[in-house]
Structure 1
Amino acid sequence: MDKNTLCKAERLCSKIQIEKLFAGGSKSFSVYPLRVVFMPMEKTEGSLASILISVPKKRFKRAVKRNRVKRQIREAYRKNKHELLHFLDEKAEGMAVAFIYLSDELVLTDEIEKKMKVLLARIIEKSV
């Protein structure tokens, strides 16, 4: 668990789980330029938290920019996920988390990382 990686098992791929996440019964809040939607799930093999990253085409028409933002968010999560995973491990449950980018402008990686720390702390706070 001390590895600083983001493997396939940590990605939210199941259409059923994604639909459940956005159908309702999930909690969400924003820390500009990110919005987070999360809900507890049953623990899947190999992963406590499954994440999904969304950068709407409405915000950035060019895929290059969308991919850059997704990379920045993924990296920020990868570096700061340990507190969340530790919390989920203690509670012995899983969580599905979606990060949605809200801004129309590109933001510096440092800025995204700061906001990610705030988001993850607030997820823990709201899950207690």
Structure 2
Amino acid sequence: MYTFTKEERLCNKRLIDGLFHNGSSFLCYPFRASWQLTDAVQKFPVQILFSVAKKRYKHAVDRNLIKRRMREAYRLQKQTAIYEALTAADKKIILSVGYIGKEILPYDVLEKKMLKVLTQLAAEVVK
């Protein structure tokens, strides 16, 4: 249940390009979420990509720390926050969550913000 497998990660260059050119996005500090409905055949309701700007965080260890915290927060909350709503509406999306914060936030703060992003996204997609 609380897994984050390879099939859930967004790796396809064509899909990523389409997401950033034609997708919708919103801000929920410290995250920027871009999403797009997709009809591609995928095992899970959401395929997701996490990113942290190299321009803002020069050291790879900092970028990796933030991405690790984002992935963990997503992994624990995806089922209740977004999967159930998307499965009920029979929709599939691709999603990108970028970190735009100016400082490295502790995990508990990131977890609350990730929940907020996912519930806001579920509401937008379903309507």
Amino acid across the alignment from 2:65: R
Task: Show the 5 A alignment for 1:6-85.
Answer: 6-24=4-22, 26-82=23-79, 83-85=81-83
The CA RMSD over aligned residues, in Å, is 1.0
For 2:90, which of 56, 80, 92 is the aligned residue?
92
Would you say the 8 A contact 1:9–1:50 is kept in 2?
A: yes
Distance 2:107 2:63 in 1: 14
- Return 5+ residue gaps in structure 1 as ranges: none
Q: CA deviation at 1:93?
A: 2.0
Give the share of equivalent positions with the same residue, in percent.
35
Structure 2-normalised TM-score? 0.94
Q: CA deviation at 1:92?
A: 1.7
Moved more, 87-96 or 72-81: 87-96
Aligned residue in 2 for 1:121: 119
Structure 1-normalised TM-score? 0.93
Aligned residue in 2 for 1:111: 109
Q: CA deviation at 1:46?
A: 1.8
1:75-127 deviation per Cα after TM superposition (whole angstroms, max 9, x unaligned): 01001101311111112221101000001211010000000111011001111
The structure 1 segments of at least 4 consecutive aligned residues displaced by more than 4 Å after TM superposition are: none
Distance 1:118 1:39 in 2: 18
Distance 2:76 2:100 in 1: 21
- Return 5+ residue gaps in structure 2 as ranges: none
Q: CA deviation at 1:43?
A: 4.9
